[in-house]
Amino acid sequence: MTMTPVTSAPPGSATDVLTVDGLSVRLGGRDVLTDVRFSIAAGEFVGLIGSNGAGKTTLLRVILGLTPPTAGTVSICGERHAARKGLVGYVPQKIQLDPDMPIRARDLVGLGLDGHKFGLPLPSRARRRQVEEMLQAVGAARFANERVGNLSGGEQQRVMIAHALISSPRLLLLDEPLASLDISSVQEIIALLARISAERGVSVLISAHEMNPLLPVMDRIVYLAGGRAATGTTSEVVRSEVLSGLYGHHVDVIRVHGRILVVAGSGDGLDIPPNPGEQPGAQLPGAQLGEQVGHGQSLSHGPPDDGPPDYGRPDYGRPADRP
Amino acid sequence: MTGLLHVLFAPGFFTSPPVRLALLTGGLAAFVSGVVGAFTVLRGQSYAGHALADISVTGGSGSYLIGISPLLGFAGTGVLAAGIMDSIGIRRPRGRDLATGIVRGAGLGLAALFLYWDTTHSNTTGITVTVLFGSMFTISPAVIPLVIVCSVLALAIVAVLYRPLLLSSVSGDLAAARGIPVRIVGLLSLIAIALAVSLSALTIGTILSTALLVGPAATALRITRRPGRATVTAALLGVGVTWLGIVLAYDSFTWPPRHDGWPVSFFVVALTFAGYLLAQLVSGRRPVRRAVRPAAGRATGPAAGPAAGRAVRRAEG
Amino acid sequence: MFAAFMINTWIVATMVAVVAGVVGFFVVMRGSAFVADAVPQGAFAGAAGASLIGVSTLVGLSVFALAGALGIGWLGRRGRHDVATALTLVLMLGLGALFLSFTSQYSAEIFALLFGEILGISSAAILPVALLGLVCIAAITVMYRPLLLSSLAPESGEARGVRAGRMELLFLVVVAIATSMTLPVVGALLIFSLMIGPPAAARALTSSPQRAMALSVVIALALAWVAIAASYETNWPVGFFVGVGGAVCYAGGRGWAAWSARRPDASRPAASRSAPA
């Protein structure tokens, strides 16, 4: 039961910031990605959604040029090779820093500007101004002189975003930035990213296993499952037929109070509670449903064939799906 | 046949009392080091082992000053240092390495002072060499009882704590959840390392005792992943390497350049290293799972590898 | 203690301290404690071998330091890193013992190489030591930013073309060079204390990396000078003062950090999430 992935823009358009065409990656004997194709236009905010092990990090690494693809191409602003390095800003998942480390937030942001340059590090007023401006833009000015290891998760995330943004990239890649944040930090970071994207015209590709927090701000979604991708708006892609095609078995998509839930269904008339958040113990065979565990932790394990991820999030209170 | 024997073993080998003593103490020290070493490597504590070895230099050199048996000095400071290292014990592996190194530096500084006093006050030369590089052929028979006590103690710790040690090596949280006092187990394991290292310090010197602790164990773990087998293999390898080293050192008395023998500690270390290299090459290009960044220097901390996990599951039944 | 024959010692000690402070800053930043400890001990064998065949000690040191550093890097890639380092290091020490056993100055030379010797530094030695020191400092200066980035956020560095493996290798080489110039004065076993203690103290005093490195140098200089003066006065080995002094620096740093964290005005409000984005 295969379905051609839905795309809302033909790949290879000259004005696109990112074009991924026919991308396949085989790692350790396993086909991690198969024939992935999508493109991102300037200023677009795109969510890369998939459960753990779906291949999100692999895709990001290929885009960054860190992992070579088995087949297919990636081009950024039309560039295919080394020249594209300056065009992409990358926010890795988490950096482990001791509180003892003598490195302040402003130092880390400054490294985003010239951290890759060999040679004599000369202080310059222009550089300081740039760092200040970036710190203000992400709301990190008040802890600019604190050690990065002392900052909270959300604060560190802001610093890493500033670090990636300061070199004026056209595309910002974020690898699961929301995974270990608490709910209010998640909201703040998403709002920050949306604002930056709008103000600076930077395209954003943010990977997550939870699509619900991103629903209000995403222009389009790239949904990864079974090594393949479906691209389009949320209403185009997150539909039972499309996702079932990706997963290779039947899944149901339920929209409840502005939230989207993807569950594996056996199709035999099971009772699905209208508000999953209120019944944390609800267990359905073949599904992993229910209360969010911790903050942003996916309940699915292993390759996607084991079952779809849980996308329920109680008390989110966000408006309904953006058209 | 006798001709071959004569080539391998220089005349007088089997009848010489110092050689017999060397075979006994060296063998015992190597055996204990192999057993304790298996867990040291599993727990990723090679650096701690090395640090304890260096710190026991302080005890060794101090022992000559106050006239007690060097083994007592080694063991005493080793155990004390184990306690200090455990109490400084910082959670983060990086912090632990730094603290270990600093304590080691302070201990060695003190050792320098003691050795200086040794040579100036008591007018005996060669203490530096003896403490640092061992005195395999000049061990006094009086130390045998202490050797046996230390050996039994170290082996007892390992035997009694076998399963908790394995479990807490894989995951401290897992062990704590089962009610294992992780802190105490950690301290006892450090003490066992200190004892093993002291024994080797007597025979091949403090600086090189790490070789017997880490080498045979690492080699054994390349050959087999099961901790029980690895422990036995490590012990046997250690004893074999030591005995072979003794033979070669004895034979080397006729070798150039000075015809008074090459240091036995050198042979033991070289053979250990050769064994490890051999095991590496033979076991093929089995890549170890690595993080993005080469963890240079991150030597302490539980060895959380897939192999260790499998080992625990097998050991558990 | 400022007699003519001690001038050389002061000059060399100053250069040694500066290099130790600069390189040590990154050793602490990268957590490369074990490697930075192992390379000097490997270099010991080189010095021993050099004196055996009559080559300049410095050459022997450098060759073995480099070989040790690269060997540790290579072996570490194939197997467990800490085991590889431990074994390489111990093999080098064993070789050193072997070489020295061939000489007649066994005991005294071993002591000097392991624990340091402040006397008998010839004027001829100053120039090569200065050159090596300059190379180290120049290398660290040129690599400063990529090395810092790679140490703190390696993935971000990789995305910009700063390969972590290459940085590690370059850094190991710098450590090897720094080792060969510091070893004769401070001794193989105690270089580490000089490289670790001052930066550990410095980072407790300031949060800025540039200032932390500068402070490392200052504290290292103080430590080295005090150690030499004390050694001269008491005739005790300089290694004793370096080892104990390094521990004092480290303890002082940790104590200061703990004390300043306890001061009420020093701590930031913990949950300041109410601030607008």
Convert the pLDDT of each residue in B202-224 to its tens digit. 888 887 888 889 889 988 988 88
The model's pLDDT over A83-115, given as tens digits with 9 standing for 90+, comes to: 556 788 889 877 777 788 889 999 999 988 888
Min Cα separation C255/chain A (Å): 12
User: What would you report as the CA-atom Rg of chain A, rounded to the nearest whole angstrom?
Assistant: 20
Query: By the CB < 8 Å criterion, does B222 face chain C?
Result: yes
Query: By the CB < 8 Å criterion, does A315 face chain B?
Result: no
Amino acid present at C232: Y
Q: Identify all chain C residues contacting A139, using CB atoms and an 8 Å cutoff.
A: 275-277
Measured CA to CA in angstroms, residue A241 lies from A52, A225, B5 at distances of 22, 13, 82
Q: Identify all chain A residues contacting B94, using CB atoms and an 8 Å cutoff.
A: 98
Peptide bond preceding B257: is omega within 30 degrees of 0, i.e. cis? Answer: yes
The answer on pLDDT for C187 being more than 80 is yes
Pick from A169, A214, A212, A223: which is nearest to A194 by CA?
A: A214
Subunit partners of chain B (3 or more CB pairs within 8 A): A, C
The enclosing H or E element of B149 equals: helix B144-160
Please name every residue paired with A19 in a beta bridge, in sequence order, or none if there are none.
A39, A75
Q: Does C209 map to a domain?
A: yes
The model's pLDDT over C127-177, given as tens digits with 9 standing for 90+, comes to: 888 999 999 999 999 999 999 998 888 888 888 888 888 888 899 899 999
Contact (Cβ atoms closer than 8 angstroms) between residue B133 and residue C97:
yes
Higher pLDDT, C188 or B243: B243
Q: How far apart are CA A203 and CA A45, in angstroms?
A: 6
Residues of chain B that touch chain A, judged by Cβ-Cβ distance less than 8 Å: 92, 94-95
Residue C208 has its nearest CB partner, among A92, A104, A160, at A104
Min Cα separation C29/chain A (Å): 7
Tokens of C176: 């090897």
- Hey, of A57, A95, A98, which one would you mutate to test binding to chain B, going by the most B CBs within 10 A of its CB? A98
Query: By the CB < 8 Å criterion, does A28 face chain B?
Result: no
Amino acid present at C177: I
Q: Identify all chain C residues contacting B41, using CB atoms and an 8 Å cutoff.
A: 80, 83
Tokens of B119: 């040579």
Higher pLDDT, A67 or B119: A67
Min Cα separation C21/chain A (Å): 15
Q: B122 pLDDT band (50/70/90 cuts)?
A: low
The model's pLDDT over C232-260, given as tens digits with 9 standing for 90+, comes to: 889 888 889 999 999 999 889 888 888 88
Q: Which residues of A201-228 are buried (b: 16+ CB within 10 A; e: fewer)?
A: ebbbbbbbbbbbbbbbbbbbbbbbbbbb
Helices and strands in chain B, H and E counts: 14, 0
Subunit partners of chain A (3 or more CB pairs within 8 A): B, C
CA atoms within 13 A on the CB side of A292: 21
Q: Which domain holds residue C91?
A: 4-262
Q: A265 pLDDT band (50/70/90 cuts)?
A: low
Q: How far apart are CA B271 and CA B245, in angstroms?
A: 7
Q: Are strands A18-27 and A71-76 parallel, antiparallel or unpaired?
A: antiparallel
The answer on pLDDT for B295 being more than 50 is no
Min Cα separation C275/chain B (Å): 31
Task: Give me the pLDDT at residue A308, please.
Answer: 40
For residue C197, give the CATH number of its domain: 1.10.3470.10
CA angle, residues C177, C180, C182, in degrees to nearest 5? 110
* Most confident among B14-28, B78-92, B125-139, C17-31 (mean pLDDT): C17-31
Query: By the CB < 8 Å criterion, does A28 face chain C?
Result: no
Q: How far apart are CA B203 and CA C201, in angstroms?
A: 38
Q: How far apart are CA C259 and CA C253, in angstroms?
A: 10
Q: How far apart are CA B69 and CA B193, in angstroms?
A: 19
Q: Identify all chain A residues contacting B95, using CB atoms and an 8 Å cutoff.
A: 98, 100
Task: Tell the residue number behind the tokens 């033909």, with chain if given.
Answer: A10
* Domain assignments of chain B as residue spans, ordered by start: 10-284+299-316
Q: How far apart are CA C243 and CA B114, in angstroms?
A: 13
The answer on pLDDT for A282 being more than 50 is no
The answer on pLDDT for C10 being more than 60 is yes
CA atoms within 13 A on the CB side of B106: 18
Q: Does C269 map to a domain?
A: no
Find the residue in C nearest to B98 (Cα). C33
Tokens of A34: 């198969």
Q: Which alpha helices (DSSP H) does B67-92 contain, by range?
A: 70-88
The enclosing H or E element of B282 equals: helix B264-282
Q: Identify all chain A residues contacting B92, using CB atoms and an 8 Å cutoff.
A: 98
* Residues A285-311, mean pLDDT to the nearest whole number: 34
Q: Identify all chain A residues contacting C170, using CB atoms and an 8 Å cutoff.
A: none
Query: By the CB < 8 Å criterion, does C71 face chain B?
Result: no
- Chain C window 212-241: which residues touch A at a Cβ cutoff of 8 Å? 212
Q: Does C276 map to a domain?
A: no
The answer on pLDDT for A36 being more than 70 is yes
Q: Does C268 map to a domain?
A: no
Q: Are strands A18-27 and A30-40 parallel, antiparallel or unpaired?
A: antiparallel
Q: A295 pLDDT band (50/70/90 cuts)?
A: very low
* Residues A211-215, mean pLDDT to the nearest whole number: 90
User: Based on the structure, what is the number of domains in chain C?
Assistant: 1
Q: Does C160 map to a domain?
A: yes
The CATH class given to the B10-284+299-316 domain equals: mainly alpha
Q: A81 pLDDT band (50/70/90 cuts)?
A: low
Q: Identify all chain A residues contacting B306, using CB atoms and an 8 Å cutoff.
A: none
User: What would you report as the CA-atom Rg of chain B, rounded to the nearest whole angstrom?
Assistant: 20
Find the residue in B nearest to A92 (Cα). B292
Residues 6+ apart with CB under 8 A from C48: C60, C95, C96, C97, C99, C100, C103, C109, C110, C113
Q: Does C274 map to a domain?
A: no
Residue C164 has its nearest CB partner, among B101, B265, B292, at B292
Q: How far apart are CA B195 and CA B155, in angstroms?
A: 10
Pick from A98, A96, A95, A38: which is nearest to A62 by CA?
A: A38
Q: How far apart are CA B129 and CA B242, in angstroms?
A: 19
